[in-house]
Chains A and B, each alone.
Chain A
C-alpha cells in the first residue's frame, strides 16, 4: 500500500519536436535544397556558381512578386497586368542607362552605381505612377470579381505592351552591364558573376526593408491586419482603400525595380519579357501562400535554385521543374508554405 497521495498537478507536456518544428519547416527548405544540390552536383565549384545564380534569380523574382502577393492578400485582387510593370521598368531603366553611357562605361564603381541608381529611380517612378493609374482605371471597377479582374487586367497588360511598341519600337534592345559590374570574381575555384552578387544584395535589402516596414510601423500593422480582415480594419477607423492604393503603387514600383535588375541580368530586353517572368512569379506567389511576404521570399529562392540546379543536372527537365515544384509544395501545404489567415 502506498501512503502518498497521487499527484494531480497538471503536466505541461511540450509538443513533440516534430510538431514544434512544423511551422519552421519552410524556412529550412532553402538550406535543405542547397545541401541537396551539393550532394547531387559533382563539382563543388559548379555547385557554388549555380547556387549564387539561383539565389540571384530568386531575389529578382522576389522583388517582382512581393508587391503582387500583398495586393492579392490585401484586396483579393488578381493582377495579370503585373508583368507590364516589369517590362516598363526594364525599358525606362535601359533608356536611362543608355543615355548615361559615359557614366556606365567609365571604370569607376561610384559612377556606375550612380547611373544604375538613377535608372532604378526613374523606372520606379514611372512604374509607380503607372500602377496608380492602373489601379484607378482598370482595377478599381472590378473589385470583388476574380473573373473580371483576370480579363480586365489581361487587357491592361496588352495595352501596356502595345504602348511599349509605340514608344520604343518592336526591336529588342541590348544593354550592357556597367563597366565595374561586368565579369566575375573567383571564389573557392568558382566563377561568381559580380552582377549576380549585387542582385542578391539588392534582393536582401528589399526583403529586410519590407519586413521592417510590415513588422515595425503602423502602416505595416494596417497592411498585415488588412490582409486578414479588411472590414475590421475599416471599422477601426482606417481608410483601407487608400492603404491599398499605396501598396499597389509600391508593388508596381518594385516590379519596375525588378525589371531593371532583370534587364541587366539578361542584358537584353523585349516588350514581352515581363510576361515570361510572370509564370515564375505566379508560381512563387502561390507556393509562398497568397498574401505572405515571407512565404514569397522563401518561394522565390526555392524556384530560383530549383531552376538553376535542374538546368544543370537535367536540362530537359528545367522547363517543368518549377511546375513540378509547385505541385509538390501544394500537396505538402495546400495553402502555400506560409498560409495566411483570412476572415470568412
Chain B
C-alpha cells in the first residue's frame, strides 16, 4: 500500500466556544473515493472545512501527501492541491459562469482540455457560459461548483453533499462526472447522505458521530451489512 494522500490525527476543532471535533483520526487512500458518512450534525462539514483551513484546529495534525498543512491559510492549502466543493456550493452569483471558471484557474486561463471535460460532463455550463451564475438552477450551480474545483490540477477533492436538494436526473449527471473523475485517478473525500449514491461511488468509508470517527472500512463491507449501517448511522438504508 502506498502512503495515504491525506491523514488526520487527533484533530480537534472548536467553533466559537463549542467543541465540535473531539479528535478525528482517519486517512484518505490515494486514488478512489472515500465517503465520509454520519448523521446530521455529526461534524462532517466541520471536518472538510478544517482540512481546507477555513476552521483552525486547536490540536492534532493534518498531513497532505505527508506534509503537515494544519495552520496554513486556506489559500495556501488550495495551492498545495486541494479542490473544495462546499456544502452551500459557494457560487459567485454576480459573476458569469465563465468568470467563475476563469477565477478558478490560478493564472486566469483554464486548460482547454479541462474545459472540454467540463463541457462534456455538464453541457448546461456551455449553454449558460455568459450568464450570471446567480441565474442558474440549483443543479447547474452544483455542476459549476464541481467544475470550478477541477479547473486546476488537484491532489485531492473535498466534496460536501453534492446531491443535496437535487432532482434524480441531475444527481445522475453529477454521479457520472464524479465517477469519470475517479476513473482518471483522482483522490476524493466526499460527504454524502444519499446512500445509494455513496455506495455507487465510494471505495472506502469513514463514519462520524458526535465529532469522532466511529468506523472505517471498505464500502463493500458496509453496503453488505444493513445491521452495521443501522448501528453506525441510526438509519435504515434501502436495500437493492
Q: Are B94 and A235 in contact (CB under 8 A)?
A: no
The residues in B between 172 and 227 inclusive whose CB is less than 8 angstroms from any CB of A are none
A83-91, A100-108, A134-142, A221-229: which one contacts chain B? Answer: A221-229
Contacts of B152 in A (CB 8 A): 237
B-side contacts of A222, CB under 8 Å: 103
A236 in contact (CB, < 8 A): yes
Known A218-B108, A225-B103: A235·B90 in contact at CB below 8 Å: yes
Q: Which residue of B lies closest to A225 (CB)?
A: B92
Q: Contact: A236 with B73, CB < 8 Å?
A: no
CA distance A240 to B92 in the complex (A): 15
CB closest residue in chain B, given A237: B78
Across the interface, do A225 and B86 meet the contact criterion of CB distance under 8 Å?
no
- 1/0 per residue, CB under 8 A from B, across A272-295: the answer is 000000000000000000000000
Chain B interface residue count, CB cutoff 8 Å, equals: 26
B39 close to A (CB within 8 Å) = no
Residues of chain A within 8 A of B78, CB atoms compared: 234-237
Near B by CB (< 8 A), chain A positions 308-344 give: 340-341, 343-344
* Contact indicator per residue, chain B 51-85, by CB within 8 Å of chain A (1) or not (0): 01110000000000000000001110011000010
Docked-complex contact A237 and B75, CB < 8 angstroms: yes
Q: How far is the CB of A244 from chain B (nearest CB, A)?
A: 12
Contact indicator A236/B95 (Cβ below 8 Å): no
* Most central of A224, A236, A343 by chain B CB within 10 Å: A236
A234 touching B103 in the complex, CB below 8 Å, given contacts A343-B88, A343-B90: no
The answer, yes or no, to whether B1 is at the interface (CB within 8 Å) is: no
Contact indicator A231/B73 (Cβ below 8 Å): no
Measured between alpha carbons, how far is A231 from B77 in the docked complex, in Å?
13
Taking the closest CB of chain B, its distance from the CB of A224, in whole angstroms, is 6
Any chain B CB within 8 A of the CB of A165?
no
Distance to closest chain A CB from B42 (angstroms): 21
Q: Are A239 and B75 in contact (CB under 8 A)?
A: yes
Contact of B73 among A218, A224, A239 (CB under 8 A): A239
**Does A232 count as interface, using CB distance less than 8 angstroms?**
yes
CB atoms of B94 and A340 under 8 A apart? yes
| A238 interface residue (CB < 8 Å to B) | yes
The residues of B that contact A229 with a CB separation of less than 8 Å are 90, 92
Quick check: B86 and A235 within 8 Å, CB to CB? Answer: yes
B54 touches A236 (CB 8 A): no
Asked if B79 and A221 sit within 8 Å, CB to CB, the answer is no
Complex Cα distance A224/B157, Å?
25
Per the bound structure, the CA–CA distance linking A221 and B53 in Å amounts to 23
List of A residues within 8 angstroms of B100 by Cβ: 225
- Please give the residue numbers on chain A whose beta carbons come within 8 Å of chain B beta carbons, in ascending order: 218, 221-222, 224-225, 227-229, 231-240, 340-341, 343-344
Identify the 6 closest CB pairs spanning chains A and B, nearest first.
Answer: A237-B78, A232-B90, A234-B74, A225-B92, A235-B84, A218-B108
Given A229-B90, A235-B52, A237-B75, 12 other A-B residues pairs in contact with their CB atoms under 8 A: A218-B102, A224-B94, A228-B92, A228-B93, A232-B86, A233-B103, A235-B54, A235-B74, A235-B75, A236-B106, A341-B93, A341-B94
